[in-house]
């Protein structure tokens, strides 16, 4: 995941006069940034807290959270506030799904892919602070665990010889799966997780209408078959996606 931008002095403060004061609605505690800032950074809103409720609400609006370092002064450690992002170009995978290279097919012969078998272990792997770019805090972990218990967050596990070697986690809203984080301990294990997710999603009913979202488009994602989707088009299609049934199997039938 790309590093979030550094807080700029010209950005509004979530604790300033525009914050709206205490409220039970997270939207009321957020501060919109200027169109110029959004165009430069993909940040739409600042402030609020990451909870199960705010994650679901934001994803339904095409937003996702990420911490932003706030520089408060020379010699003072930066603080982190929540930024809510909507990339101008969203990385999405559509039917028929991921491009699986010949070399990955060979690697996958040694893997077993399962779904929701050990969400906690995959979450821990993604949150491991020793991983470069790790961003999942205790706040995120608590929200994901609550969403997993409610059947809204899911995991894909990759096993080799009975040992967990990779996986991914994300949030499902009907026909949209938002892939938030992945990890691996052996080569190709995270790619195998994406391949397993792709096969699951795009073999479900109404496969041609479904979509996997991976936030920002990178060269690596493009090599797997992801393409860029304009922000406006992404947001316009959300209501139809959310109306579709889940692609994930019922408990008790989770092994591929």
- One digit per residue, pLDDT tens: the chain, 256 residues? 444 444 444 445 444 434 333 443 334 467 888 899 899 999 999 888 899 999 999 999 999 998 887 665 566 566 677 889 999 999 999 999 999 999 999 999 999 999 999 999 999 999 998 877 678 889 999 999 999 999 999 999 999 999 999 999 999 999 999 999 999 999 999 999 999 999 999 999 999 999 999 999 999 999 999 999 999 999 999 999 999 999 998 765 545 4
Q: What pLDDT is attached to residue 77? A: 64
Q: What pLDDT is attached to residue 97? A: 96
Q: φ, ψ for residue 209 (rounded to 5)?
A: -100, -5
- Residue 9 in domain: no
Distance between CA atoms of residues 168 and 152, nearest Å: 14
Same domain, 232 and 106: yes
Choosing from 86, 101, 123, the residue where a domain stops is 86
- Residue 184 in domain: yes
Same domain, 78 and 97: no
Domain membership of residue 236 as a residue range: 90-242
Choosing from 35, 54, 86, the residue where a domain stops is 86
In 1-83, where does DSSP find H-type helix?
35-41, 52-60
Same domain, 212 and 196: yes
Q: What pLDDT is attached to residue 249? A: 84
Q: What pLDDT is attached to residue 76? A: 58
| Token digits of residue 38 | 């959004």
Same domain, 79 and 96: no
Same domain, 208 and 109: yes
Same domain, 113 and 232: yes
Same domain, 72 and 132: no
Same domain, 144 and 225: yes
Same domain, 132 and 223: yes
- Residue 254 in domain: no
Choosing from 86, 119, 134, the residue where a domain stops is 86
Is residue 126 within 8 Å of residue 136, measured between CB atoms?
yes
Q: What pLDDT is attached to residue 6? A: 45
Same domain, 78 and 159: no
Write down the pTM of the prediction: 0.85
CA distances in angstroms from 36 to 39, 61, 98, listed in the order given:
5, 20, 34
CA distances in angstroms from 175 to 94, 132, 141, 167, listed in the order given:
11, 31, 24, 20
CATH number at residue 200: 3.40.630.70
Q: What pLDDT is attached to residue 75? A: 65
- Residue 30 in domain: yes
Same domain, 53 and 122: no
- Residue 196 in domain: yes
- Residue 252 in domain: no
State how many domains the chain has: 2
- Residue 256 in domain: no
Strands 176-184 and 163-173, how do they pair? antiparallel
Same domain, 76 and 186: no
DSSP 8-state class, residue 255: B
- Residue 60 in domain: yes
């Amino acid at each position: 995941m790309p590093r979030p931008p550094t807080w700029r002095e010209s950005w509004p403060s979530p604790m300033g006069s525009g914050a709206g004061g205490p409220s039970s609605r997270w939207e009321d505690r957020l501060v919109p940034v200027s169109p110029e800032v959004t165009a430069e950074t993909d940040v739409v809103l600042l402030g609020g807290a990451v909870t199960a409720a705010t994650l679901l609400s934001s994803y339904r609006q095409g937003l996702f959270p990420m911490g932003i370092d706030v520089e408060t002064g020379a010699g003072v450690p930066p603080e982190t506030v929540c930024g809510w992002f909507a990339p101008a170009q969203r990385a999405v995978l559509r039917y028929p799904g991921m491009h699986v290279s010949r070399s990955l097919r060979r690697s996958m012969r040694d893997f077993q892919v399962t779904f929701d078998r050990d969400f906690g272990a995959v979450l821990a792997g993604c949150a491991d602070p020793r991983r470069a770019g790790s961003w999942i805090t205790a706040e995120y972990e608590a929200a994901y665990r609550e969403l997993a218990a409610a059947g809204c967050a899911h995991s894909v596990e990759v096993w080799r010889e009975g040992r967990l070697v990779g996986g991914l986690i994300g949030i499902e809203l009907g026909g949209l799966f938002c892939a938030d984080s992945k990890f691996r301990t052996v080569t190709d294990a995270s790619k195998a997780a994406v391949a397993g997710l792709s096969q699951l999603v795009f073999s479900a009913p109404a496969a041609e209408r479904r979509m996997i979202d991976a936030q920002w488009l990178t060269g690596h994602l493009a090599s797997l078959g992801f393409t860029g989707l304009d922000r406006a088009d992404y947001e316009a299609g959300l209501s139809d996606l959310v109306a579709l049934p889940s692609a994930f199997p019922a408990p008790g039938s989770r092994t591929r």
